[in-house]
Amino acid sequence: MTALAFIYRERALAQVPRILGLIDRRAESPTFGCADRAYWHYLAADFPNARFQEAVHLLALVHTLPIGTHPFSGKPQLIEWANASAVFWAGRRHRDGSADEAYPFERSLCATAFSLLAVGEAWARLSLSPQPAWERSARWLAAARPSSAANQSAAAALALAVWAELTRETRWRKASDAYAAAVMAQQSADGWYPEYGGPDAGYQSLTLSLLARLWRRTQDAALKRSLDRAAAWIDGAIGPTGQVDPAANSRQTSFLYPCGLAILGSPALARHAAGIEQDKVLHPGWLDDRYVIQLATDYLLAAEASA
């Protein structure tokens, strides 16, 4: 394992106990598998935020790590909890397959795309067959309009590509291609993908991660050219010890998702890793419960890509 891979893996694995604490792991509970602790434990929310169910992907990644890497690697409990998380997610969707994030009956493209992606990636990682009822989410995504936030459309593109692999149905690949084309069509001459009309290095890194994972599956030449331009732009936005300037970002972010940088071999990855070691950049341990799952998952994927 490379030094870079070790840094990202260890920062992610340090958050696994915390993330397990977000999940209702009581098999007898009516909310078994729910990862929104504010909903199932504190009763502080009227509905579960579907984005918390993305923990299913993290559970699958930890389970498939080499034995001894983590106390839960290879343990059957992780598969049980992953299955419970997926079942809870599926049961709390709307009948059309869409999911909610910010408020009830939202039918959020973001929540639907990212949660379907997490479940699909987990099932692909665990070599399991998806439930036919999950297809409703793929159908809903395929019929929805691309978002003005590039990361959400990129998530839809990757989710549909993963679903195409799981089901071996080409119609989902066509829908994935349409989302990817929409993101590339919005790319600026400078290389950034728009987030509500402007550039944002944090969300650029997330979109880069999603599209780079998509490119590994498709090997599409046009997508690779787009990614190279996007990586060049973000390289210029990352400082010598991995920092980004929130004031320069359209959504004022200060996080970075490293997986896309790792897949593309960006020189910015080493600077970002150095910042992590020096505690100068935001890492999963600094995030609140709402986003720790997603960033920790991306760190594990970055470790895998740079091993």
pLDDT, one tens digit per residue, over 205-238 is 999 999 999 999 999 999 999 999 999 999 999 9
Q: Among 142, 208, 150, 210, which Cα is nearest to 170's?
A: 142
Q: Among 118, 159, 268, 274, which Cα is nearest to 204's?
A: 268
pLDDT value of position 275: 97
The count of domains in the chain is: 1
Q: How large a percentage of the chain has pLDDT more than 90?
A: 98
Cα(297)–Cα(307) distance, integer angstroms: 15
Strand, helix or coil for residue 108? strand
With residue 278 as reference, give the H or E element that holds it: none
With residue 297 as reference, give the H or E element that holds it: helix 289-305
**pLDDT average, residue stretch 184-211:** 97
pLDDT, one tens digit per residue, over 54-89 is 999 999 999 999 999 999 999 999 999 999 999 999
pLDDT value of position 97: 98
Cα(107)–Cα(93) distance, integer angstroms: 9
pLDDT value of position 38: 97
Give pTM, 2 decimals. 0.97
CB 45 within 8 A of CB 38: yes
pLDDT, one tens digit per residue, over 134-162 is 999 999 999 999 999 999 999 999 999 99
pLDDT value of position 159: 98
pLDDT value of position 17: 97
Q: Among 61, 67, 106, 51, which Cα is nearest to 82's?
A: 61
pLDDT value of position 6: 96
Cα(181)–Cα(233) distance, integer angstroms: 19
Per the structure, the complete domain to which residue 160 belongs is given by 3-305
**pLDDT average, residue stretch 258-287:** 96
pLDDT value of position 193: 98
Q: Which amino acid appears at position 102 of this protein?
A: A
Q: What is the band of 274 on the pLDDT scale with cuts at 50, 70, 90?
A: very high
Cα(199)–Cα(233) distance, integer angstroms: 10
Q: What CATH number is given to the structural domain containing 129? A: 1.50.10.100
- Please report the sign of the dihedral spanned by the C-alpha atoms of residue 72, residue 73, residue 75, residue 80: positive
